[in-house]
Amino acid sequence: MAGEYAILYAVSDAAGNVASVYREIIVRAAADTTAPVITLTGSASVTLNIGDSFTDSGATASDNIDGNLTSSITSSGTVDTSVVGN
Ligand SMILES: [Ca+2]
């Protein structure tokens, strides 16, 4: 979260003359340049025989800033276990 803050410094002398000055402090979010990491659940390579059933064991994702991104993972591709793949 970005925000601006101010600190007021003040002083007065014995005659009652007052001086004051502000310091501005800006707080900003650092740029996030680190990509999230996807971790496959199970092996990265799966070998099946024709006719076997295939159930995708999925993956998890995490990010240095956003934390758990598993629910945001999208996947694409299909497996047809009735045909030898290439
Ligand atoms: Ca990140």
Q: Measured in angstroms, how far is the CA atom of residue 31 from the centroid of ligand 1?
A: 9
At 85 the pLDDT is 80
In this predicted structure, what is the pLDDT of residue 1?
A: 58
- Compute, in angstroms, the gap from residue 40 CA to the centroid of ligand 1: 18
- pLDDT, one tens digit per residue, over 39-59 is 999 999 999 999 999 999 999
Q: Looking at residue 30, what is its pLDDT?
A: 83
Threshold 0.75, pTM exceeds: no
Alpha helices (runs of H) in 1-86, residue ranges in sequence order: none
Q: List, for the chain, all residue ranges whose pLDDT scores fall below the cut of 70.
A: 1
Taking the centre of ligand 1 as the mean of its atom positions, its distance from the CA of residue 16, in whole angstroms, is: 54
Q: Are strands 37-40 and 18-27 parallel, antiparallel or unpaired?
A: unpaired
